[in-house]
Every structure is written in C-alpha cells, then in structure tokens.
Structure 1
Amino acid sequence: MKAKAVWHKKKGIEIKTAAFAKLTKVYPPVLIKLLTTRGLSKLDEIDKFLNPNFDSGLFNPLLLKNIKRSVKLLSDFIDQQKKISIYTDYDADGICAGAILADLFDEIKYPFEIYIPDRRREGYGLNKNAIKFLKEQKVDLIITCDCASNNKDEIDFARELGLEVIVIDHHQLHVKYDQSYFIVNPKQPGDRYPFKELCGAGLVYKFVQAFLIINGQEKKLQIFGKWLLDLLVIATVADLVPLVSENRVLSHYGLMVIKKTRRWGIKALAEAAGTNLLDLNSEKIGFVLAPRLNAAGRINHASSAYKLLITKNLDKVKGLARELDRQNRLRQNITGKVVQEAKILFKGKKEKILIGIKKNWDQGVLGIAASKLMAEFHRPVILLQQIEDQGVGSARSPKNFNIINSLDKCSPLLIRYGGHAQAAGLKVSIDKLSELKSALHKIADRQLKNSDLVEQIEYDLPIKLADLSWELYSYLEKLEPFGLGNHQPIFRLNKLTISNKQYLGNLNKHLKLTLQSGDHFIFALSFDSPVSLRKLAAGETIDVLATLRKNQWRNKQSLELLIIDWKITK
C-alpha cells in the first residue's frame, strides 16, 4: 500500500444527541457510531442488522419471475423419468451452486448428470459442443447454475435438438427473452423479487426452496435446507456480492452451519489449509477456502472441487483437498509472475484504463492478477491471453468505473463478454483489439478524472491505542460477516511511535511493528510491506489506518492491528 492515498472519514447518518443517548442505553456508543457509517440509525434497523432472523429475514422464493414455471417443468420431467443434467460454472460460486442442486436430487433420490465446462477449452457459459455431448448422452433437461443468462443462441440450439433449458443465474442480462423461456434471474425485466444481489448459489438455494414448497415438502427446509448453508456462505463470500439484506442473513447462519458442517470435503479442505473450522469467519472463507476451490478451475478442471464437496468418502476427500491445496500454491506462483510482467508492461503508462496481452499468460489467473494490479494502479485493468487469433481474459475495475457498461458500449468489437459492474470476462479477435483499446480509452477518459486515479481510503472512526480492547473486539464480532457492503471497520490511530520492527515471511516481505502510545503498545502487521514503511526506524512516529483482529498462537490470544495505510505524523 502506498502512502500517497487520500484519507477520508466515512460519513455516517447524523443522529441527534437525544436519539443517540437513547440508542446507547441498548448498545455501546462505539458500536452505534460504526452502525451509522453503515446507514443504520433506528433501533429496529440496528436490531435487525445485529440479530439476523432466518425465518423473517428471507424473501419468498416464489416472487422470482419464472420460478413457478421452472419448478413445474422440472417436476414434470421427474414424473416422466426424463434425464436431467446440472450445468454449472467453474468458479467457487458455480461449484457450490452445482453441489446444492446435486444435494436436492440426492435428497429426492433422483439420478442426474453433472457437466462443468473447461475454462480454457470451452470458456464461460453454455456452448454448443457441450449441448451436443449432452444430447448424445440422452439428456432431456439442462439446468444451468451461475451462468447462461446471455446464451440465448445456445439455448435456442438446445431446444432445436429437443432439449429444454432452465437458467438459474445472477449475471446482468444483455439479451431479451419472451415468456417461453425458463430464466430465473432477479435482474431480468419484470422480476419482482425484492433483493437483486444474490450470488449464483444463492439463487439455486431459492430454487431448492421453491421446489420443496411447491411439491409439498416444505418441512425439509428446516433440516435439509439449513445444512445447505455451508455451501452457500462459501459461494456468497467468494463471489463478492454485497453482504447486506438477504445475503447477510444467509451468510450469518451459513457461518454457524459451516463450523458444524457434515461435509467431509469442507473439513478436509480446512485441515489441508491449516484452518480450524471453529475459528472460521468471512475473511478466512474468502482468503483460505474459496481460493482453493477456485484453483481447481484455474489450474486444471473444476470437477475436482465439485467432487470434494459432494464426496462422502473420507480418504478420497483428503486426497482431493491436498491436491487443491497444491494447485492453489501453483496458482499463486503463476499469478505472481503475471503481475510482475504486467507491471513492467504498464510502467510509465498514463492511460486511465490499462490493457495488456501476452501469449504466455494463463487465462485462468488473469482475473486475480487484474484485481491486484487494479488495487496498485487504482484504475481499470484488462489482462488477456493471446490464443492464436483471439485474446481471452478478465477485466477488473474500481467502484467509480462500471466495466460491464463500458463493454456493453463496445459489444460489436467483442466475440463474447459478461460479468458485473466491477468484474468481467471477455473474448476479442486480435484484429479488433486495437479498436477495442481505443474505444475503452475514450470511455475511461470521459468518465474518470485524474483525481479518480488517486487511491481514496475511507475509515470508520478515529480511536486511541488505549481504547483497543477485547470488549471493543467483541462489538466488532457482532458486525460479522464482513464483505462488500459491510466492510471490516477501519480505524485511524495517530501519533504512534515505532518501538521495534521485525521482518517475517519468505524473502522478508512482511513487517511486524511494535507501536506505542504512552504506556500502551500493540503489534501491527503489514503484509507485502512497502519499501517506504520498511525504511522507517525505531523512534519514528506515524499515523495508521488499520483493522483490529485476533491473533492466536498455540493457546495464547492477543489483539493486533493489520495496517492498511500509514503516514508520517505531522
């Protein structure tokens, strides 16, 4: 993290003194202040946020457009003993979505096929070769999970071959469907579902709810349905959907379930990663479990991640977990090389969107690499692997630039694309790449000011070192799960003296500081610490932005800071 970022105190809802005093009779003042930065100021809103209710906090799945028709179609195919295939995406969201639907079929004891496309050979979404293969396997119904909202041509192709398709997906739609199609996506026109930000697995979970309700098996939701939440919390955190509203409720209870999970695969994966399930939180799901599930599709084939989640043989899952752990380490190495090469490519460039392409880059890791580069350069980044006469890759953008809208404007230049406001995948002909670059540069020049390219960091509250306590940490735990829309609180601490520093990790890339204010001190970690911070000597005084976290070493627990940014005290 570079020290040139601009710091801002996050604006919260203004509460009058009398109202604040009334709230502090129920909750601690520091917690109230943190909640106002999340747009919460009324007692009923705060109660609902801090105490998610599974029964009242979820919306009726039957409100989703086309879900009743789609459930009836599936039920009819089951009654007629037709052959059904799940067709799911290869990322953690898609794999978990596929496993949730697989659990439904196992629960009702109905056989099914599973198809997961190869990221490199087939790419994202439905494709005609896969449909031909499924036709040859005498499949009658394809149910897509976390993909296919924009694959109208492929759906039409499947129907021409005599197959029907149900699409369960959450991606933005760029095509129109009439009422003869079975599209379950809250982002489609005319959908009345109140919450639009469920991940792919979240929508499959709603589909399972609807199926059981419509088929008179609603009681199964109380036990069977809740055991699905371990998969759902992984998918929700991994796919970076906002952890608010229904997602917060599902993730809150998902964290409870995953700590008691009955899935040998999740237990084995946590063990291979050196993580105790009882200590699991959203951060560990996002940075420990999810990357290992994602590594399968990035490095080899996502089928190994799917098998891990659905296999009930302990010896098999242990082997699969070790393999995913190995693939994740390989993924980290490959990503690191791409990032370093891209930094050289982008060095000295002033464009407001950075676009790079190389033949030796692996498309499986380009999304992660683009995210890292976006965080460093504070502007949109597109990375492509050149494969013969095409460029295939990923785009990532900060929240002040909508990358999918920008790609919409360039759609005639693209072979294929799809995604969200801040993340997308794309394929382009090499002979169109120059024109695409020019078009995107013009869009970025119009939409982004120079000030938008300087990192802006919002912090929640200023705080004194003396106020960091286990009591404060217990309040922060009430705000979990953290993620998009509910970030972990960032504190500003001023005038801290460096009393000691220690280098950690391979190549001494990380830094552990002892920071002191008066008689109080705390350890503070900086991962991949910048050279400017490493050069500081004991005795120098700094201001820091940091999060508070628990460190557990053997049987001892302590509080520590994770440094986000720092400045020399003025």
Structure 2
Amino acid sequence: MRWTLKPKPDLTKVKQLAKELAIDTTLATILVQRGIETFEEAKKFFRPSLNDLHDPFLMKDMKIAVTRIENAIANNENILVYGDYDVDGTTAVSLLASYLKTIHPNIATYIPDRYEEGYGVSFQGIDFAEDNNFSLIIALDCGIKAIDKVEYATKKGIDFIICDHHKPGSEVPKAVAVLNPKQVDCNYPYNELCGCGVGFKLIQALASKRKQTIEDLVPYLDLVATAIAADIVPMTGENRILAYHGLKVINSTPRNGIKAIIHQLQKKELTITDVVFIIAPRINAAGRIQHGNYAVELLTEMDFEAAVKFAAAIEKFNSDRKELDRRITQEALLQIENNNEQENYTTVVFDATWHKGVIGIVASRLTETYYRPTLVFTKSGEKLAASARSVKGFDVYNALEQCSAYIEQFGGHKYAAGLTLLPKQYQNFKKKFEEVVSTTIDKNLLTPEIAIDAEIELSEITPKFFRIIQQMAPFGPQNMKPTFVTTAVRDNGYGKQVGTDNSHLKLNIIYGSDKKTYNAIGFGLGKKITCIQNDFDIAYTVDENTWNGYTSIQLLLKDVK
C-alpha cells in the first residue's frame, strides 16, 4: 500500500483555529485540510443544522415540477412514482410515495424488474402506466438518459418528471421537468446529492407550498441517510446535514421497515458504517434476488408486525445473495488465473450463468483483490450486461465513453457504472477497454493508497482528542475518519494472529519512554505478523472497543510497515 501524507495546510490558519476552538494543532490541521478554517465553519461542521439546507427552488425546473404535481392533485390524476431497484432508488420511491400519499390518494409505485426490464425507465413500465390510466410518472434515481422512453410516454399522453443525479449525456430527455443538479445549466449550490436526496428536495419544495417546515419532513430522513450511505456519495454539504439528522431518526424513531431490520440485529446505536454494511445490503438484496418491490413494501409498511415479516423475507434474500456472491467471486478469480490475466491493467470477466443481481458486488470484490478497473459480465436476454467498478482516482465512466463504439448503452458515476452490449462485441470491447485504461491510468493508482491525515505521537490520543474525532462523524467520501501514522512502535511480545483462519492481527503496542501499551487490531493483516519483530510503523484510525462491559480506546490498524 502507498502511504500518502496529506499536504500540511497554512500554519497560521491552523494556529488561529486551534486557538478559537481550544483544541490541539493536530485536530485543527485535520479541520483546515477539510476546508474548515473559521469558528463559524467549525460550528456548522460539528453541529449540522437543517436550517442550512438550500432553497429547493434554486434547482433548475423545480418550480415547473411542483406546478405539474399540484395540477395533477387538483385534477385528481393518477401519479406513478417510478424508481431504480437499488437502495437509492427504492428509498427514493418510498420517500416520495409516502409523502405524496399524505396529500393525494391516487399514488402508486413501480420498480422495474432487474431481469425482465433492466436498469432505469422501461417501455414496459410506461405501458403499465398507460394500461392503468397514469398521466404523470415521476422517475427517481434514473431517467437522465431515457430520451426514447420519455418520447414514447409523451406520444401516449403521459408526462414525465425526472429526479436523477447521474451524469447527463449531451442531450437530456424532453420531460416536463428534469431535476438533476449535475446538469451544466443548473445553478443549484450543491451537486453531489444522491437520487433520494433529489427526491427529498422535491418534497421540501412541495411542503413549502403547504406551509410545512423542515421539521415536518424529519421523519423521512432515515430513508435519505440510508441512501446517502449506500450510494457512497461525498459526505459534505447537504449530504452531511441530511445524513447527520437521518442517523438520529434511525437511532430514535425509524420507520417500521428500518426498525424491523434493526430489531433482528439487536444492535443499539447504529453508525453510518452500520447503515452501509447492515441496513443497505438487506434493502439491496430484495432487488438483487427477488424484486425491488419487496424493499418498497418494507419501507412504506405502516404495521410493525407486517414489516417484521417483510424483513424476515429480505433476510433470506440477503443470505442467498451472500452465497451467490461467494461462489461467483471464486469462479471469477479462477477465470482470471486460467486466462493468465493477473498482469492486465483491467479485469474483465464473463459467464452467461452468473446471477445478474450480484455482479456489482463481485466487481467490487475483484477490485479489492487485483486493485484495477473491473467489469463483470453476464447474459441478460439477447445481450450481455455488466457492472463496472473502479479504483480511487480513475474515472471508469470516462473510460467507458471512449469504448462507446462497442456498447449498446451505459450510465453511472466516476467509480461505478453499468452497461449492456451485444455478445459479438464482447471481445472487441474487452480489448478496447484494456487499451484505454493502460494508456490513460496513472500507474500509481494501481496500488491502493492510504491517505494519512497526520503523523502523531500515541500520547496525543486523549479522551478529549477521541471525543472530537467522534464528533466529526458521519464519515464518508471527502470526510473520511482521520487516519494517523505513528513510527517506531514496538509490540510487547504478545502480538498474535487471530480469527478462524489467522487472518487478523492483534497487538499490544508499546510506545514512548513511559512504556504505556495500546490495544490494536488489524483486520485482514494477519500476514503482517512478520513485520513486528523489531520497531515498525503503523497507519490506523482511532476507535473504541467494548469488552465485558468495559470500553477502551483501540487502534484500528490499516497497515503495518
């Protein structure tokens, strides 16, 4: 791994902030590195306020969208809330549908079938709307590239409002309104919202017309926080405010569906990491294994006992998903070895039998193993479908754009995308993708990086220091948990490999003249036991560990050298 120390910020700013906040210079350095330079900015960072959310009407087409929905309500039209089958899509549909149902009875939801219809807006979904007399479709977390689908709907007399956050193409659909802060002509102050976040801005705008305040919308924030966590969007600006308050809702008064998931787990206080690894995979599992409708039904269920039954079904889907993920990952790794492709700049694998619902997870697993841009293909009807994942610093979406001659359709983000192509183009695409990546990627990016916030003495980790680090949560992209380096530490002689397969490393680290020991655990670092015979350096975050009712500070090792 590459250990990269972040550039030290202006010392004058650091000292000034340390003085204003009465904190040490290490903590002040971390804050200034993150763009927090004044007492006022620090106050907004440590105490995120819903009052600092932007006016939703600053978003392009918001006024048009609200007017069209108000007209639909006034004319007693049927409204179809349509969304993608992943966590961002199903939470967005649950959010908008449950809000609209409080003001209008004629609301239904539609999640496309991952296998029959594929990603995004489908002709089948529009036909469903026509057959059931829906005159307005509101698409969430999809639609920004659905030019032909919106045209098809228009010919049938069905209007579209699109709420998306994916990168627009050179042309956008001719919908009644397109809400997407990533549009070049949209001047909304924050463009990193997830799909559910854009949906929240829409209900914020609708609520303002009903003299409702932001406090009236707080119960919906458990959904928004779940989507922000699952979609790995930057934990900055509005996302951080919404996640911070949404997490409070998850831990105090979550909706029945989320409460039912937590109820199964017997966990008291959830962090954003728990949302990523506990709540999100279970919601996702519905769309991966069965149908995204299960997730929407779970998240909009008003009766807790019924929600518990949905949650139990989804738990089974999640268990099935784990088994598929494990098996397909093993098969993919074997395929790479058999084809002698370990030295490539890319990983591109295909098997017609692989389950389409887990290829994104498998792509992530392969990226962890070989650390390079990765695509996992499977058969989808007459075409091949793939999930793409990238490494930090490399834009896989741009790379796919350069391969577009071989692709039927694609969409996504810098680090994750999806695409379809014809089987006859697979080898051509694979060759072109390898060529594009090998000629454009900075070779340093093919080695995982640990970004180090500061080099510190272990004696600096006081209870106050740890408390302030904790208050920097929720953590996520662009606001990661601070990572530290301490050099020339020693093990007290009791360091050992732990875990069923000895894959983890447990140390008692001695540092400084006082010979004080610090507990440390390194998950997946079992093989590094050879590094601890003499002095060694550690990269780590600071965490706490509770054992037998006693809580203590623990170092969570990221690497040992």
CA distance in 1, matches of 2:496, 2:17: 46
Instruction: Give aligned pairs, total.
Output: 554
Shift of 1:225: 0.9
Secondary structure class of the residue paired with 2:275: helix
The match for 2:167 is 172
TM-superposed deviation, 1:174: 1.3
Partner of 1:264: 256
2:272 is aligned to: 282
Q: 1:550 to 1:205 in 2, by over 3 A?
A: same
CA–CA separation in structure 1 for the residues paired with 2:110 and 2:280: 21
Aligned equivalents of 2:502, 2:313: Cα separation in 1: 28
Corresponding position: 1:546 with 2:540: yes
Is the contact made by 2:521 and 2:556 (CA closer than 8 Å) also made in structure 1? yes
| Alignment deviations for residues 79-118 of structure 1 (CA, whole Å, 9 cap, x no partner) | 1111111111111111111111022122214231111111
1:488 corresponds, among 460, 477, 481, to 481
Structure-2 separation of matches of 1:455 and 1:316 = 44
CA distance, structure 1, for counterparts of residue 305 and residue 124 of structure 2: 34
Query: For residues 54 and 369 of structure 1, what CA distance do their matches in structure 2 show?
Result: 37
Per the alignment, residue 437 of structure 1 pairs with 430
Match of 2:50 in 1: 54
Which structure 2 residues correspond to residues 357-396 of structure 1 after superposition, within 5 A?
357-387=350-380, 389-396=382-389
Matched, 1:93 2:73: no
Q: Does structure 2 retain, via aligned residues, the 8 Å contact 1:12–1:36? A: no
2:277 matched to 1:306? no
Deviation at 1:340, TM superposition (A): 2.4
Is 2:222 the partner of 1:230?
yes
Would you say the 8 A contact 1:94–1:145 is kept in 2? yes
Letter in 2 for 1:380: P
1:419 Cα offset (Å): 0.3
Distance in 2, Cα, partners of 1:324 & 1:556: 34
- Tell me which amino acid in the other structure corresponds to 1:363: K
2:93 aligned with 1:103: no
Describe the SS at the equivalent of 2:11.
coil
State whether residues 76 and 106 of structure 2, in contact with CA within 8 Å, keep that contact through their aligned partners in structure 1. no
Match of 1:253 in 2: 245
Match of 2:449 among 446, 451, 456: 456
Q: TM-score, normalised by structure 2?
A: 0.93
Aligned CA RMSD, in angstroms, stands at 2.1
Secondary structure of 2:21's match? coil
User: 2:281 — aligned with what?
Assistant: 291
Quote the Cα distance in structure 1 between the aligned partners of 2:318 and 2:131.
Answer: 35
1:7 to 3, 7, 15: 3
1:558/1:335 CA distance change after superposition, 3 Å: same
What amino acid does structure 2 have at the position aligned with 1:268? A
| Superposed CA offset, 1:161-182 (max 9, x none) | 1211111111111152477632
* Contact in 2 for aligned 1:240/1:483 (Cα 8 Å): yes
Query: Matches of 1:224 and 1:76 in 2, distance apart?
Result: 23
TM-score, structure 1 as length reference: 0.92
> How far apart, CA to CA, are the structure 2 residues paired with 1:211 and 1:470?
45
CA contact (8 A) 2:503 2:524 kept: yes
Separation in structure 2 between the aligned mates of residue 331 and residue 549 of structure 1, nearest angstrom: 30
Q: What letter is aligned with 1:241?
A: V
Give the CA deviation at 1:504.
4.7
Gaps of 5+ in 1: none
Please state if 1:517 is matched with 2:511: yes
**Greater alpha carbon shift after TM alignment, 449-458 vs 190-199:** 449-458
| Long gaps (5+) in structure 2 | none
Seq. identity, %: 30
1:32-51 pair list within 5 angstroms: 32-51=28-47
Distance verdict in 2 for CA 1:107–1:387, change over 3 Å: closer
**Worse overlay, 382-391 or 477-486:** 382-391
Asked whether the equivalents of residues 356 and 380 of structure 2 are also in contact (C-alpha less than 8 Å), the reply is no
1:141-152 to 2 correspondences below 5 Å: 141-152=136-147
2:233 counterpart (241, 246, 256): 241
Identify the range of structure 1 (223-232 vs 76-85) with the bigger mean alpha-carbon deviation. Answer: 223-232
C-alpha spacing 1:179/1:474, structure 2 compared with 1 (3 Å): same
Q: Are positions 1:405 and 2:398 aligned together? A: yes
Give me the whole-angstrom Cα distance separating, in 1, the residues matched to 2:318 and 2:500: 17
Contact 2:257–2:311 (CA under 8 A) maintained in structure 1: yes
Cα 1:559–1:174 shift into 2, 3 Å: same
> Residue 297 of structure 2 aligns to which amino acid in structure 1?
K
- Please state if 1:159 is matched with 2:154: yes
Q: State the distance in 2 between where 1:179 and 1:135 align.
A: 19
Give the 3-state SS of the residue equivalent to 2:213 in structure 1.
Answer: helix
What corresponds to 1:341 in structure 2? Answer: 331
Cα deviation, residue 317, structure 1 = 1.4
Query: Does the residue aligned with 2:93 lie in a helix, a strand or coil?
Result: helix
**Counterpart residue number, 1:479:** 472
Partner-residue secondary structure (3-state), 1:234? helix
Q: Distance in 2 between matches of 1:63 and 1:22?
A: 32
- In structure 1, distance between residues paired with 2:5 and 2:143: 41
User: Is the 1:116–1:303 contact (alpha carbons within 8 Å) kept by the matching residues of 2?
Assistant: yes
Asked whether the equivalents of residues 465 and 520 of structure 1 are also in contact (C-alpha less than 8 Å), the reply is no
Match of 1:328 among 318, 335, 339: 318
CA distance in 1, matches of 2:151, 2:363: 34
Match of 1:414 among 396, 407, 412: 407
Q: Secondary structure at the match of 1:500?
A: coil
Q: Name the SS for the 1:496 alignment partner.
A: strand
| Separation in 1, partners of 2:357, 2:175 | 35
